[in-house]
A and B are shown apart, each in its own frame.
Chain A
Amino acid sequence: MEEMSLFPGVTRRDFLKICGGLAALIGLGQAGAADVAEALTAIAKRPNVIWSDFQECLGCSVNLLQSRTPEVATLILQQISLNYHEAVMAAAGNEAEQNFSDTVSGGDFFWVVEGAIATKVPGAMTVHGETSMDIVRKTYPKAKATIAIGSCACYGNVQAAAPNPTGAKGLTQFIKDDMGIANPTVINIARCPGNAEDMLATLTYVLVNKKVPPLDSVGRPKFLYGALVHDNCERRAHFEQGNYIESFGDEHCADSWCWFKMGCKGPVTYAPCPVTRWNGHQSWCIKAGPCIGCSEPAFWDTMAPFYSPVPNIAAPGIVGISDSTFTAILVGVTAGAIGAHLIGTAVTHRLRGGGPMEPARGTAAEAPATEAPPGGASDGGGE
């Protein structure tokens, strides 16, 4: 069996299969499998990784422990050198801190951050007597690449929910505000928890292409976060047919009807959930209940209440909100216009030369329709 530095213990055939999957995921197509294989085989020394935990719940680390692609044991024994991870490492206290300092001073490391930075109450987050602010200040400038995993490190997440008692910030925002760096290079692997398999796919992208992948306006890799949950949802056909679950446990749950009326935020949430799924790609939220929009900045303030339908969505047929406009909405302008984008991406294909839309559905009674006439605009900006 040929030795693979990143995937030892798997056959060449399996290895190429993995590479093919990764190549497809990062947008190279199946033809890119050879490039991926070459990039992964070229690494002689396991890359140093340090993983910091700030204001968090450890959910992202727990998700890392659920990774099957690759298996966790393979990852930490054969693929990376995980020099610091508070939940996994053997050492504690001064000896743990020594591992962190030694790696940072060596300068040859990738930095993964889980958790938000406490800025208003700096003492709300300390490790080894240092605040999260101080740790970012000394570590970010030395890292080869920095990945924020999970919505806490990306955008502050739950502890940043209004009124944000501790001044919790995502990494990018903190670096901009505190360190005066206008465009920090931080890759945001959003969602709550952060999906470790997405993070590993992104690392693969960096290794293969030797550059950071194109990011959207809130720092997420476009190859993962370029589409709405709704766009690829396996229940999308039910949405378009107006087949809604009307109450939890009703007879249509068994038919996998659409959760929209139960509050599903999939129509306004950019994330790869339906494609990459979770926990070894086995399942995802929609199988169990409505999406809460956890990949979007400030979702506790913009997406709640979670069990109320997205407002102002009456019927398919209203199009024309662009990606950037949509992002502005999500950072807190108004929920009222969100519906426009939803319908834009939901039915644009059908509107282009398509037949008449269905009449307004049940939600029309609950939320007033937006003003644009059905089918009135011709270009759905979100595609």
Chain B
Amino acid sequence: MARTNVVIDPITRIEGHLRVTCVVENGKVTDAWNTCTLFRGFEIFMKDRDPRDVWHYTMRICGVCPTPHGWNGVRASEMAMGVDRMDDNTRLIRNMMEASQIAYDHILWFYVLNAFDYVNVPNALKAKPTTPTLKAVQQQLKTFVDSGQLGFLANMYWDNPGYKLPADLDLELTAHYLQSIEMQQLANDAGGVFLGGKYPMIMNYAPGGCTQLPGLEDIITYKQRMETVQGFVDTVVVPDLLAIAPYYIGLAKVGQGVGNFLSWGVLDEKSQDPYDRLFPRGGIYGGKLAVEKVDPDQTKMYTKHSFYPDTLGSGKHPLDVGQEPQEYVDLAPVDGSKLPNAKYDWTQAVRYGDREAPMEVGPLAQMLMAYLAGRPEAVQLVDSTLAAVGAAGHPEILISALGRIVARVLKLKINMDNAQRWADELLANMATGVTAVNSMPEVPDSGEGKGGWDAPRGALCHYVRIKNKKIDSFAAVPASNWNFSPRDDKGVRGPVEEALVGLPVADAAQPLEILRLVHTFDP
């Protein structure tokens, strides 16, 4: 029967550089490989540098989510300097920055990075709009298409029957795409710009806390912008999800993946206990909805299928692996005439604990931990969503491609609904004379620290070891390192590779389904 190798390179609308290779047989994916096609060497050039500077480097790992990379970098280095606990103002300012980041990031994902997989923009020209706004957007689109210069919309699979929305909905979502650009800007303004100085690459963290207490006017600006964005989430994003989900309900039955989930947690409550976070820490195995405790030091690295010597990883702790030497092997031809080589990825395979389990990370993991920990908002939102789709009492159906999208939007809503609280608590501290915001720690001769705070895309942890007052070892294990792990030493596929296996693909020449599934992981 028909067997085709499908290579998508570049996977677009992501952060980073990614190739995905699939074997499609009889209309289904039977094997899959993901390849990160970028290597920079952070763990090499950060060695011997000043430990205070760690967070400025780590923000440059991802310009889409520099804020959690900054949190992890600054937390790892200050912990290595003996700061076991943040002062309460620092906790709150960092929460505000993170809430701002989450808001922008998930809105950007839902529209700019994701919508073109489901929304057929040219089809919006067939809509019959009744409102002035939608008429104007349609006219703008018509002028654009009639110009013959399709620019960023050119050459997409717009004739693929996989696009299911009626034209009116295509137009409405296109209008919301344009509106979302302004909304993600307002979300960034709230924390990144007014508290952090600019976005991306914020400036208001420093080892030991933050650089300063924000001014009152900036806190008020944060509150106002986040309130505006909250309104957008409640009246546009959530309704958009509910409007399009019925047309793509088939996605609830594909892309289940490994069924193991990991979150380090994000957004600290006063206790600073990671199991007490708004999105709490935890691990789930084999699709069984029971949460276990997890420890960032149980992260293990493997390199048999990565561009390093086979034995470099061997299950070692991230700080003991590094990125030298490299053993790059030319990628298989982009035409799919050969399948990937034994070594096919710059990413090292990362596995968790004694089970050496591949772990899925991201908003689905974060929402499952919050739901199973009994967080009232998460329970209420998940249960009402399940009831709305006729699956009351079955949260396990969230473990799917559609579930990842739903979880991301529900998490966004919970984030917005709590965004004012961090600012109000900070104002209350300031009103009662609690002004400490940095303990100005000294760099010690030696020390070790780590982060463990989820980025919007999932579990993220940076590790730092200090010797002779310099960085002796640095390691980064970001979300895409988990989700887009290659095979491990035992040949077990990474989470995205596993999720792709079994996926129906109607037309291998237009692999829209593969693109969709990869995007649900927000690479």
Interface residues of A (CB under 8 A from B): 45-46, 48, 53, 55-63, 65-66, 68, 71-73, 76-78, 80-83, 85-93, 95-99, 118, 121, 123-129, 157-159, 161-166, 168, 192-193, 247-249, 253-254, 262, 277-280, 282-290, 292, 294, 300, 304-308
Contact = CB atoms under 8 A, between A and B. Distances in A.
B37 A126 contact: yes
A254 B214 CA distance: 8
A90 B12 CA distance: 8
Nearest to A253: B212
Given A63-B199, A289-B197, A305-B53, A71 B181 contact: yes
Contacts of B149: 45-46, 48, 81
Contacts of A95: 155-157
B243 interface: no
Interface of B: 7-17, 37-42, 44-45, 49-50, 52-53, 56-57, 60-64, 66, 108, 112-113, 116, 121, 140-141, 143-144, 147, 149-157, 178, 181-182, 184-185, 188-189, 192-206, 208-213, 215, 307, 323-324, 326, 328, 330-331, 333-334, 346, 435-438, 440, 511, 515
Nearest to A245: B212
30 contacts: A46-B151, A57-B66, A59-B64, A59-B66, A78-B143, A90-B12, A90-B156, A93-B8, A99-B155, A121-B39, A125-B37, A126-B331, A127-B10, A127-B17, A163-B44, A166-B40, A248-B206, A248-B211, A249-B435, A249-B438, A254-B212, A278-B193, A282-B193, A288-B202, A288-B203, A288-B212, A289-B204, A289-B205, A304-B53, A306-B52
B50 A304 contact: yes
Contacts of A247: 438, 440
B441 to A, nearest CB: 11
B189 A279 contact: yes
A159 B41 CA distance: 7
Contacts of A254: 212-213, 215
A95 B60 CA distance: 29
A71 B186 CA distance: 13
Contacts of A287: 197
Contact of B326 (A86, A121, A168): A121
A278 B198 contact: yes
B188 A279 contact: yes
B417 to A, nearest CB: 25
Contact of B60 (A57, A88, A165, A289): A57
Contacts of A88: 13, 112, 152
B208 to A, nearest CB: 7
B80 to A, nearest CB: 15
Contact of B197 (A81, A162, A284): A284
B182 A124 contact: no
B64 A62 contact: yes
Contact of B346 (A57, A80, A124): A124
Contacts of B212: 248-249, 253-254, 288-289
A271 B64 CA distance: 23
Given A81-B149, A158-B60, A248-B210, A93 B10 contact: yes
A65 B333 contact: no
Nearest to B212: A253
B86 to A, nearest CB: 12
Contacts of B53: 304-307
B331 A282 contact: no
Contacts of A63: 199-200
A288 B196 contact: yes
B interface majority secondary structure: loop
Contacts of B108: 65
A126 B334 CA distance: 11
Contact of A283 (B153, B194, B209): B194
A304 B45 CA distance: 13
A293 to B, nearest CB: 11
Contacts of B66: 57, 59
Contacts of A87: 12-15, 112-113
Contacts of A121: 39, 326, 328
Contacts of B307: 123
A231 to B, nearest CB: 19
Contacts of B147: 46
Contact of B52 (A56, A81, A124, A305): A305
A249 B209 contact: yes
Contacts of B331: 123, 126, 129
A335 to B, nearest CB: 14
B16 A58 contact: yes
Q: Please provide the 6 A-B residue pairs with the shortest distance between their CB atoms, ordered closest to farther.
A: A59-B63, A288-B197, A165-B41, A278-B198, A253-B212, A57-B63
Nearest to A150: B63
Contacts of A157: 60
Interface centre among A72, A82, A123 (most CB of B within 10 A): A123
Contacts of A289: 197, 203-206, 211-212
A96 B10 contact: yes
Contacts of A282: 189, 193-194
Contacts of A73: 178, 181
A362 B440 CA distance: 19
A88 B115 CA distance: 11
Contacts of A158: 40, 42, 45, 57, 60
Contacts of B213: 249, 253-254
Nearest to A9: B140
B199 A66 contact: yes
B208 A248 contact: yes
A289 B8 CA distance: 42
A64 B232 CA distance: 22
B436 to A, nearest CB: 7
A93 B197 contact: no
Given A121-B39, A129-B333, A57 B199 contact: no
A92 B12 contact: yes
Contacts of A59: 60, 63-64, 66, 200-201
B40 A159 contact: yes
